[in-house]
Structure 1
């Protein structure tokens, strides 16, 4: 089913990140996660919902049984498994488990198709995506970010 959705969703500028069909008794729930550079807005999710509905209505991929469709953003709880996931999470703190064993946390500075560069305790560390067994974004509730100079000036003048 993911293959049927990939091109139509790409046509509206989004990537299909996950498709999950769960069944509980007579009820079926189809969940489609989408993402794009810069994140997704509610309007993006609405556009994706319309496009997924159109594709499903025009095909018999879901059969005749009723189902509930849920289209959502990728979310921060999903592992970073593709180079675009690393790129889209630049400046985020991630916990990394290496294939060869060992774990560490660092902030993503940059990412290419094959590697990511992280700030690990003040030192830059380059990690090949192929060497990562698991990488999860860490939620930071109290992170202090420095404001751009223009915003600082406006606040100082107030």
Structure 2
């Protein structure tokens, strides 16, 4: 069993006790720095990071292989990477960059297994007469067409 497989196994065991918390990324550098990034259906608490860190650290032998360990929650402004992240952010505003270069800032209305549905208001010329009117737009986008999606934070 490789070092990475052993770490991943311990990480998964640590996450079993926390079904609302899930792995976003596991990176192990050449110098054996283990970087674990987590997210959760209801966010990630400091205690979640501590518990996962302990599950890994207490079951690895530093005498056998020296390592450092960093367990953190996904940062604000980090791109969404998993379907589960899209589902937990339904109702929030996203900035979605598409593979064709288009960028849409809109409310995430729905996240299915195959695509997302966004809605937003746009100002368009009136069909009859002069001036503009506000119209409600909705678009379904396949995950394959998304280059990057980031939740916007409104203060």
Decide: shared fold, TM above 0.5: yes
* Residues 9 and 16, structure 1, Cα contact 8 Å, conserved in 2: no
Q: Which residue of 1 aligns with 2:152?
A: 138
Q: What's the offset of the Cα at 1:105?
A: 0.9
1:119 to 1:11, Cα distance in 2 relative to 1, 3 A: same
Q: What's the offset of the Cα at 1:111?
A: 0.8
d(CA) in 1 for partners of 2:14, 2:110: 27
Which of the two has greater strand per residue? 2
Q: Which residues of structure 2 form unaligned runs of 5+?
A: 122-135
Matching of residue 40 in structure 1 with residue 44 in structure 2: yes
d(CA) in 2 for partners of 1:95, 1:39: 20
d(CA) in 2 for partners of 1:102, 1:86: 19
**3-state DSSP of counterpart to 2:106:** strand
Task: Give the counterpart of 1:16 among 12, 23, 33.
Answer: 23
Q: What's the offset of the Cα at 1:55?
A: 4.1
User: Which range moves more in the overlay, 48-57 or 38-47?
Assistant: 48-57
Give the number of aligned pairs. Answer: 134
Q: Which residue of 2 aligns with 1:128?
A: 142
Q: What's the offset of the Cα at 1:32?
A: 0.8
Q: What's the offset of the Cα at 1:95?
A: 1.1
Q: What's the offset of the Cα at 1:86?
A: 0.6
Q: What's the offset of the Cα at 1:7?
A: 2.5
Q: Superposition pairs for residues 9-88 of structure 1, below 5 Å? A: 9-12=14-17, 13=19, 14-22=21-29, 29-57=33-61, 64-65=65-66, 67-88=67-88
1:87 to 1:63, Cα distance in 2 relative to 1, 3 A: farther
Q: Which residues of structure 1 form unaligned runs of 5+?
A: 142-158
Q: Which residue of 2 aligns with 1:4?
A: 9
**3-state DSSP of counterpart to 2:28:** strand
Q: Which residue of 1 aligns with 2:132?
A: none
Which protein shows a greater Rg? Answer: 2
1:56 to 1:124, Cα distance in 2 relative to 1, 3 A: farther
Q: Please give the TM-score of this superposition, normalised by the length of structure 1.
A: 0.71
d(CA) in 2 for partners of 1:72, 1:31: 8
Q: Deviations over 1:21-67 (max 9, x none)?
A: 346xxx7642211122111112222211111223434xx8x9522x3
